[in-house]
Structures are given as structure tokens and as C-alpha cells.
Amino acid sequence: MSPRCDIPSVFDEHVMSPDYFVMSHRFNVYTVDSNCILIRAQPGQISRNPLNCVCNDLDTFQSPPYFKLLCVNHFEESPPSQTLRAVLGLRRLIIEGDLAAGERVLEQTLVDRLGVSRTPARTALSRVCEEGLLEQLPSGGYTVATFSESDLFDAIAIRGTLEGMAARLAAERGCPDTTLKALKRCLSELDHVVEGLRDSPDLTDYVRLNDELHDLLLGAAASPMLRRTLERHMALPFAAPNAFVNITRADTSEVQAILIVSQDQHRCIVEAIEMREGHRAQALAMEHSLSAWKFLRRIISGNHRQPLPPSIKFLEAYLR
């Protein structure tokens, strides 16, 4: 059934796509044509990364530049369910550090703080536990999960393994010309951003383009199963490609040096995919994940600290 909207004759044909998320919960994306997508969601909940809401105004949503986003306000949407509100609210409380590591989380806590009834609160606890942000006690109940330094590094390594598989599949199955063009455009824009770091330490554009590039590489694998697995893993905030890029005060030249190497790895991965060299693409992608390790080591060293952003603020206790 087509979505109801007041834009006539545009949505006669549509294809479901799982590429965009409301936090950890998939919402409907209707691909109208090669230049246009339509998203059904609530304002402020849209993200290409399961953890990061990129804006509060759909009119300024940072979708890939080759897409045009049609505003969700054209839809007649019912309010989000209590269960969805409970899940999103609980994840926000943990991620922003309002619920501390090891703290017990009760159904009544969610009822009081999120304004939901007990059944949605109970469902939210179970779902967020499955994501890894809560731990279930043997005696019943839940506590906020704790993570060791090795957990953080392992999460990065697992992402590298999955992205390596994606790169290999993309090479072996053949990457469409349109995707290769998009990857090369993204590489060119990243080159410009990295070069500009000499004049400005702002990494906002790098984070956006790096996220887009990784998403394109994952899409090139043409494996919905792999996409679901990787995005489920990245429900852990510190597992995402950009988790630690923008939260260190290392010398600008040092950051630029890391990103130059990272960008060279990006280019080699794309080249290997284009040349249909699957094992080389896989090895390069796995090696590339070590860039995140380098940023994480600088954060843990304590030499270049600054407050963590809301998206991973709950790690503050582990990084002191």
C-alpha cells in the first residue's frame, strides 16, 4: 500500500529499502527513483547511522548528495507507539550518561521518566539488552552494561571483519558503475576535506563523508544479511566508523596524518573492488579499521581529552 501524501503521481512505484533508521529501529524508506527517496519517520529521529540523529529539521536532513529527500510532513502519521518511545528513550538515557554503568534499571524507572506503561517498559528493557547496552541479572532485572578497554577494541575489530567481508563480496560480485562513481566522488570530497585540515581543525565534513563512504561500501556488497548484522553490531556506539574521530585534541597535524593514511586505505579498497580483487579488498578493509584504534588509544591515554559528545557520553567512566 502506498503512503498517503499530498504530492500526486510521484509514488506510483516504490521499493522498500532498509538503509535508514530511527535510532535502532528500522523505518520505511520508499525509493521513488534514482534521485529521490522518501522517508516515513518522526522529525528529529532520522539517521543513516543507527545512533546519531543528524538533525531536528527534515528540511535540512543531510542525505547523500545524489538523493533528494521529500519531507515527512507530507504524511498522515500516527504518534510513535509507547514501545518505540520506551526503546528510544531508554537508549538515550544510557548513551547520554543519565543512567550510569552498573546502575540497576527498573520498569518503574522507565514508567516514571518516559511516561509509558509497564508493558512497553518491559519490552524496551528486553530489546535494549539484546543490543548490548543492558545486562540481565541472574536473579532477574537489568543493569546498564559495563565495557572494558578490550571490549572497545574488540568491537572495532569485529566491525573491521564485517566490513572486510563486505569489501570482498563487493569485489567478487561486481560493483555497479553508479556505485563506483559515487564512491569516487566521495573519495574526492574527502581528499578536499583532509587537505583543508591544515587551515581548520573542524572534522564535521569528514565525519559526514566518511559515514557516507562506509555506507556505500556496505551497499556495494549487495547483502541484506550482512547489512543487518553489521548495523546490529553498530548499535554499540563505539563500534561505528566515526565513533572516536572527532573527540580528541591531538595536534591537528597528527590528526591529519592519521586521516591521510585512512584516506589512502579508502582509495585502495575502492581500487581493489573495481579490479575485482576480493581478498585484497577484504584485507585492506580489515586493516583500515585500525584507524579507529589509533584515535581510541589517544583518548584513553588522557593526553588530549575533552568532553565526550552525547552519542558516546556513557563511555566517560571507562576513559578516565
Specify the pLDDT at position 27: 35
Tell me what the mean pLDDT of segment 135-147 comes to.
90
pLDDT in tens, 254-298: 778 888 888 999 999 999 999 999 999 999 999 998 877 776 676
- Residue 12, pLDDT > 70, answer no
Taking the whole predicted model, whether its pTM rises above 0.75 is answered as no
Mean pLDDT of the chain: 72
Distance CA 42, CA 20 (A): 13
Name the pLDDT band for 247 (thresholds 50, 70, 90).
low
Domains of the chain: 15-74 (no CATH), 82-144 (1.10.10.10), 149-318 (1.20.120.530)
pLDDT in tens, 48-83: 333 333 333 333 333 333 233 333 333 333 445 788
Q: Do residues 279 and 168 lie in contact, with contact meaning Cβ atoms separated by under 8 Å?
A: yes
